[in-house]
Amino acid sequence: MYKIGELSQLCHIPVKTLRYYGSEGLLVPDEIDRFTGYRYYSASRLADCNRIISLKELGFSLEEIKKHLDANKDEDILALVEAKCAELAEKSKEISLQLKKLNHIKKSLSEGDGTMFHMAIRSGDTIRVAFQRRIYAAKADAEAMVEQMKTTLPKQLLGKRTVIVNYEIEYRESNFDLAACVEIMDRVPNSLEYEEKTLAFSGEIATLVCNREQLDDGYHAMLTQIHEIDYQIIGAAYEIYYEDGTVEIKTPVCKKVRCIDAPTEKQVFENDEAAVGKWEIRDIVPSKEQFVYGHSKCTDAQSSVWRELYFPVGGEPYWFLKGWTKGFLYLMATIPEPHIVANPYSIEYINGKTIMFLEIPRRYADGSRDAIPRLMVFEKVSNQSVLAKNIQIPAN
């Protein structure tokens, strides 16, 4: 048997620490002299000491280590190890994200003009505004609309901020889908034809602050950083202007998912008369609010394999489509191996047109996919029932 001081020398753990481990139930002495209070340990306690040291090096807390020492079954220990693996994997992702952000700052300083744009991901807020959305020939026209709104709205109604909402998803030189907004503190008079709207920034929001002269560079920095940290943009961009020339850019984002959809078992077919027929693609957008009929935002939409879509009678499959039932279109995914996935669709009637929004997530070679699916937007062009065997592959 060894006294606590002798055990301390053998295992290289301070006496004070050994006493603390004893009080926490991790390393209880084999004997305690009832007269002197001396603690005595058997040589087998060296194994417990090594186990404690090893588990601490692996990141286990003392509470978790006690569970290890108390575990009697291999499956109990395995569960503890698996839980720690998951925890460390999550921390590894956080560290990887931090390294990417630091490398972006290094690159900006070494290759740029020395201006650093710090993007943050945070929860959102709300701004109540008078709202005017339309297709503007140039962004300057939207800015002019903001000034017009400021002069026509009662001064006591005005807040301190103005907002330009950019619903575009690609670079374009003219004809922009924008909303001109002025912050308001009360209701808009009925005599003015401005829509009242609360701009709500819910979920995760990427935000970057710059001045007006840096707006283009700020956008470039934000888009670069969003891509580098494996996030996706899932909505419009908001430019919030302050009185001193400061601009805050905000856009909703979410983390891409490192998994694929589970294989789908086909449901019993349920007909949907609103879906049966032929559809033609009109756009591909991140969110419904960004779709405007007649103003396509995705230049690749018309050239994609999706430019025509059919819903044959009976839910029959054709081409790469594996059939359909009410509310879902079955598609074949190939990563990491072929499997069928049910992709939701919804049908709405917009400006007298029958419009379908079909959710299709991007999938990547590493097995990841977009967390929020992009929306393939189709217009119904024929209600005529069609048989799968009669559907022709469109010419390129």
CATH of the domain at 130: 3.20.80.10
What φ, ψ does residue 27 adopt, rounded to 5°?
Answer: -140, 75
Any idea which residue has 């619903």 for tokens?
167
Domain count, the chain: 3
pLDDT at 270: 95
Task: Report the predicted TM-score, pTM, of the whole model to 2 decimal places.
Answer: 0.75
Average pLDDT over residues 385-392: 82
Residues 141 and 205 in one domain: yes
* 99 assigned to some structural domain: no
Among residues 29, 52, 70, the one where a domain terminates is 70
pLDDT tens digits, one per residue of 142-185: 999 999 999 999 999 999 999 999 999 998 999 999 999 999 99
Residues 291 and 197 in one domain: no
By the 8 A CB rule, do 391 and 319 touch?
Answer: yes
Least reliable range by pLDDT among 16-25, 216-225, 372-381: 16-25
Question: Which helix H or strand E contains 135, and what residues bound it?
Answer: strand 126-136
The alpha-helical segments, DSSP class H, found in 127-202 are 139-152
The C-alpha atoms of residue 167 and residue 366 are separated, in whole angstroms, by: 30
pLDDT at 46: 85
Which two structure tokens, joined as six digits, stand for 306? 């999706």
pLDDT at 286: 94
Average pLDDT over residues 70-81: 81
pLDDT for residue 73 is more than 70:
yes
Residues 157 and 284 in one domain: no
Instruction: Please enumerate in sequence order all residues whose Cβ is within 8 A of that of 92, keeping only pairs 6 or more positions apart, or say none.
Output: none
CA 7 to chain centre: 52
pLDDT for residue 348 is more than 70:
yes
* 260 assigned to some structural domain: no
Residues 149 and 240 in one domain: yes
pLDDT for residue 275 is more than 70:
yes
pLDDT for residue 396 is more than 60:
no
Pairing verdict, β 231-233 and 353-360: unpaired
Instruction: Please enumerate in sequence order all residues whose Cβ is within 8 A of that of 378, keeping only pairs 6 or more positions apart, or say none.
Output: 279, 280, 281, 282, 309, 355, 356, 358
Residue 241 burial (CB count, 10 A) = 20
CA 48 to chain centre: 44
Residues 127 and 192 in one domain: yes
Which two structure tokens, joined as six digits, stand for 12? 């290289």
> How far are the Cα atoms of 260, 363, 366, 386 from residue 369, in angstroms, in the given order?
6, 4, 9, 33
CA angle, residues 181, 184, 185, in degrees to nearest 5: 165
Residues 50 and 145 in one domain: no
Among residues 12, 47, 70, the one where a domain terminates is 70
> Mean pLDDT over all residues of the chain?
88
The closest of 125, 105, 170, 179 to 149, measured between CA atoms, is 179
Residues 161 and 62 in one domain: no
* 154 assigned to some structural domain: yes
* DSSP for residue 166: E
pLDDT at 60: 86
Instruction: Please enumerate in sequence order all residues whose Cβ is within 8 A of that of 172, keeping only pairs 6 or more positions apart, or say none.
Output: none
Confidence category of residue 393, pLDDT binned at 50, 70, 90: low
The C-alpha atoms of residue 54 and residue 198 are separated, in whole angstroms, by: 55
pLDDT tens digits, one per residue of 279-330: 999 999 999 999 999 999 998 887 777 889 999 989 999 887 899 999 999 9
The sign one gets for the Cα dihedral 224, 225, 229, 230 is negative
The C-alpha atoms of residue 126 and residue 119 are separated, in whole angstroms, by: 19
Among residues 255, 286, 317, the one where a domain terminates is 255
Which residues span the domain enclosing 33?
2-70
Residues 298 and 339 in one domain: yes
Residues 247 and 292 in one domain: no
The C-alpha atoms of residue 353 and residue 379 are separated, in whole angstroms, by: 7
Residues 38 and 162 in one domain: no
pLDDT at 111: 67
Residues 125 and 50 in one domain: no
CB burial of 172-186 (b: ≥16 within 10 Å; e: otherwise) equals eeeebbbbbbbbbee
Instruction: Please enumerate in sequence order all residues whose Cβ is within 8 A of that of 9, keeping only pairs 6 or more positions apart, or say none.
Output: none
Omega cis (within 30) before 344: no
DSSP reduced 3-state for 148: helix
* 269 assigned to some structural domain: no
* DSSP for residue 369: B
* 55 assigned to some structural domain: yes
Of these ranges, 102-116, 212-226, 298-312, the one predicted with the greatest mean pLDDT is 212-226
pLDDT for residue 100 is more than 90:
no
What CATH number does residue 22 fall under? 1.10.1660.10
The C-alpha atoms of residue 278 and residue 296 are separated, in whole angstroms, by: 20
Sort 53 into a burial class: Cβ within 10 Å, 0-12 / 13-18 / 19+.
middle
* 7 assigned to some structural domain: yes
pLDDT at 112: 60
Sort 70 into a burial class: Cβ within 10 Å, 0-12 / 13-18 / 19+.
exposed
Residues 143 and 187 in one domain: yes
